[in-house]
Structure 1
Amino acid sequence: MLVLVELRLVTMEDADLLLEWRNDAVTRKASLSSEKVTQEGHLAWLQASLGNKDRRLWMAQVAGKRIGSGRADRQQEGWLLSWTIAPDMRGKGLAYPMLQAMLTGLTGPFFAQIKNDNLASIKVAQKAGFVCQETKEGVLYFARGAS
């Protein structure tokens, strides 16, 4: 079944929900930075991110329901991507179509850094054509379209 995931740019109105998702125990375990984030720190980060011309922050939606978020950071060699599925939407096959939507709006190459125990994200990255280039300290470094 094909799921249509729509992306829209994040706004400050999304701040509370993004913080809730970020501080979810499973999300924190999968994140490269696993500490709990304070509201003050999150708001400062979000405000700075929204003003950063080299960062894209998206809210992913299916039929108007917010199902996750994605981030793309422009690097010298391409885009570093990361994604999060809302806790109540996990296991529904939404991460892959969300990643595909993120890739559609950007020109590669693309990169992702995924912890080696985050099997769901590893599978999504591989399905989207990312290839693991190296592993360092429990983190897999993936690339797609890089020479």
Structure 2
Amino acid sequence: MLEFRKAILDDSAVYFEWTNDEVVRNQSFNSEVISWEEHCNWFLDRVNNPSCLMLIFNDVSSNVGQVRIQEESDKNVIIGISVGKEHRGKGYAKLMLELASDYFLSENPEFCIHAYIKSQNLHSKFAFEKAGFDFVEMTTYKDHVSYHYIKIKNKK
């Protein structure tokens, strides 16, 4: 059973662990290791920011991962995900993306969720497709060739 809740300040350490995981850094658009100080400043800003939704997912025994949905422009948000290394390969990414995007769109039906995925990150590509995101185009995003997917509320 996978559940989620909004992130709180006490979640900073687990987010820090996830964000500096080698696989996560390699698939991120900024691949540099993040310092604790930089992370704390970023986390404090995001967790208290009304234009950013940070959700932490857990199963019955442990934290599984996180999804962040950040407003970018009028009615457009960017979604990002990371799954803890001990939970990868269990199908959690698809479920996390479905739960997070459906929750966000139920509260914000006029928004469009955008996902940008590095071209070599096929696991994420397939997770977004299985979670109901629609492929738009191949594009360059933050200097990387990327898949661009979207999800909207009233998809037929």
Using the size of structure 2 for normalisation, the TM-score is 0.85
Shift of 1:94: 0.7
The structure 1 residue matched to 2:120, chosen from 112, 117, 120, is: 117
Question: Paired residue for 1:13?
Answer: 10
Which shows bigger deviation, 39-48 or 7-16? 7-16
What does residue range 13-92 of structure 1 map to in structure 2 within 5 Å? 13-75=10-72, 76-92=74-90
Question: Paired residue for 2:145?
Answer: 138
- Counterpart amino acid of 2:123? A
* Cα displacement string for residues 94-134 of structure 1 (whole angstroms, at most 9, x for unaligned residues): 11111111022112422111111111110011112212222
Question: Paired residue for 1:96?
Answer: 94
Using the size of structure 1 for normalisation, the TM-score is 0.90
- Counterpart amino acid of 2:91? G
Shift of 1:141: 1.3
- Counterpart amino acid of 2:137? E
Structure 2 residue runs of 5 or longer lacking an equivalent are 106-110
Shift of 1:64: 4.6
2:80 alignment partner, SS class: strand
Whole-Å Cα distance in 2 between the matches of residues 131 and 56 of structure 1? 21
- Counterpart amino acid of 1:88? E
Identity fraction in percent: 25
* Cα displacement string for residues 57-80 of structure 1 (whole angstroms, at most 9, x for unaligned residues): 111011151000110112313331
Question: Paired residue for 1:127?
Answer: 130
